[in-house]
Amino acid sequence: MDIVFQVFLLIAALSILVLIHELGHFLPAKWFGMKVDKFYLFFDWPRKLFSFNYKGTEYGFGLIPLGGYVKIAGIIDESMDTDFIGKPAEPWEFRAKPIWQRFIVMIGGVTMNLILGILIFSFIKFYYGEAKVPVKNLKNGIEVPKGSITEEMGFRSGDILLTFNGQPIQYLEDVANPNIFLDSDAYFEVIRNDETLKIQVPNDALQKFINKKKENSTLFLPAFKSIIKVMPKSAAEKAGIQTNDQIIQIDTIPITYFSQIRETIQNYAEKEVLIKVKRGEQILDFKVQLEKKPVLGVTPNEEIPVERSKYDVISSFRPGTKAAFGTLGDNIKGLSKVFKGEADVSKSVAGPLKIGVILSEQVEKVGWLGFWVITGSLSMWLALINILPIPALDGGHVVFLLIEAITRKEPSLKVRMIAQQIGMYLLLGLMILVLLNDFFN
């Protein structure tokens, strides 16, 4: 069922992205009077699943759910249709239209993906709002998960965050995600035991994080002291431990932060463990019997004030646009890490199979919010990829249009055909490599 759900999420996300992208080509082509022969969601090779004709255009669903296309008459595209070559240009063909109209048609897909990304992130801000933890409210500093990449870098629980790359850190969320590993020569300043320390972020930290991700993907959490609230009918309550007690030792292990309670207690499944607590001025010992699933039944007895922001439809666009282009910038930084050799390409690049897994994981963690965040990020990424000046992509067509606009002469048909073929082979080869990489990972 997990695989079925992953496939469903992947197809749902791709359907949205492809449909919006191809609409970006289809709508201006229709507006400018161009003949659109086909509009397909997914590729109809080796066969189509379903199709119908309406006003001279064949609409359909293809068998291969990895893309889609709009076939506009009089253009050399991925269909490699050359029936019009050697014939006079018809007024309803792409090639017969002014450069500015052809340019709008070619950038329409990229434009629509950018708009979709902004709309998705703006809707997220409108619907969910924002909740952030101000660093100034972390009276106990940060918690550094055991075995995490941040612990390896030199952070310790209780550190108070000051700056990142020389800029004051305002919210914990600004640095509690792996985007901090995308900057080169990045560093933190923290206060530890009244001393200001500089902690360098290694340039290969992103790769180390990827390697550790299955073990512990959390970077920082708010630190809570080990003063507890006891849950009813819990192992702690049965042993006599009370709310407002401070756990200071489990067996022979000293305890300072609440996270240490959770980590330490895992080693005592189906065992009786001695827990030392501080109650007022008293130090008391309690023997606690744990079950097969070792749960003490306590929570931190303190809360950290959170700043919450709500947006109306109009005001959501500013933070939504910032978030959309922020994800795009992060992806560009990540790609530069790959080119610099600071991140393993086989672990850093995600194809359809891996994207399906990521979508499933995010939906499991945070519900449909996770689906829309990933889909919005993919829409921004798809816009960037498609505008690259590579033959067979939208950017390749734009390059030829710019050459025509500058030289007042259309590049030769032979050059455009060869470029399109090379681009198609490159993209096909890249797609195969990405799928194989997904499969073996």
Ordered domains of the chain (ranges, CATH): 2-127+374-440 (no CATH), 131-223 (2.30.42.10), 228-300 (2.30.42.10)
| pLDDT score of 423 | 86
Q: Is the dihedral of CA 154, 160, 166, 170 positive or negative?
A: positive
Whether residue 187 has pLDDT greater than 80: yes
Percentage helix, strand, coil for the chain under 3-state DSSP, each rounded to 5 = 45, 20, 30
> Of the candidates 222, 300, 302, which has an alpha carbon nearest to the alpha carbon of residue 261?
300
Whether residue 189 has pLDDT greater than 80: yes
C-alpha–C-alpha distance, residues 53 and 55, integer Å: 7
Whether residue 198 has pLDDT greater than 70: yes
Whether residue 368 has pLDDT greater than 80: yes
Is 161:138 a contact under the CB 8 Å cutoff?
Answer: yes
Give pLDDT tens digits for 265-309: 989 999 999 999 999 999 999 999 999 999 999 999 988 899 999
Query: C-alpha 377: how far from its chain's center?
Result: 6
Query: Which amino acid is residue 171, in one-letter code?
Result: Y
Q: Is the dihedral of CA 412, 415, 417, 420 positive or negative?
A: negative
Whether residue 215 has pLDDT greater than 70: no
Give pLDDT tens digits for 68-125: 899 999 887 765 566 666 678 899 999 999 999 999 999 999 999 999 999 999 999 9
Q: Where are the alpha helices (DSSP H) in 273-349?
A: 317-340, 345-348
